[in-house]
Amino acid sequence: MSAHHEDRIQHLLRQALPPVAAQPEPNHDLWPAVLRRLDQQPAAQPQSKWVWFDGALLAALAVMIAAFPVSIPLLLYYL
């Protein structure tokens, strides 16, 4: 592509998509939205995963102890 063509395309592009104003500002204060986002996201996913996983582990442990009471001393040894 020649320099002339490149200049022409650049000119067309600037005509099609005029530059944004120098100092654009949001219509309102976004800080409350940032705070809401911080409150929502952090631990939501990991927490729910681990709660489920911890529950399953505890249930498995309870079943194992009920089925094999002799394993209790062994478990205590490893804890």
Partner 1 sequence: MSNGSSGVLASEFDLLDQFRQGDLDAFEALYRLHQRAVYGWILRIVRNPSAAEDLTVETFWRIYQARARFDASRLFEPWARRIATRAALDWLRTRRSDGELTDDVLAAQATSSTDPGVTAEIRAKTAQAFARLPPGLRIAAILAVVEQQPHKEVAEALGISVTAVKLRVFRALRLLRKDLERQGITP
Q: Which residues bind partner 1 (CB under 8 A)?
A: 1, 5-6, 8-20, 23-28, 30-31, 33-34, 37-38, 41
Residue with Cβ nearer partner 1 (33 or 62) = 33
Cβ atoms within 10 A of the Cβ of 65, count? 13
Residue with Cβ nearer partner 1 (30 or 61) = 30
Q: Which two tokens stand for residue 43?
A: 């631990």
Kindly list the distances between the CA atom of residue 1 and the CA atoms of 6, 7, 9, 10, in Å, as whole numbers in the listed order.
7, 10, 10, 12
Minimum distance between the CB of residue 3 and partner 1, rounded to whole angstroms?
11
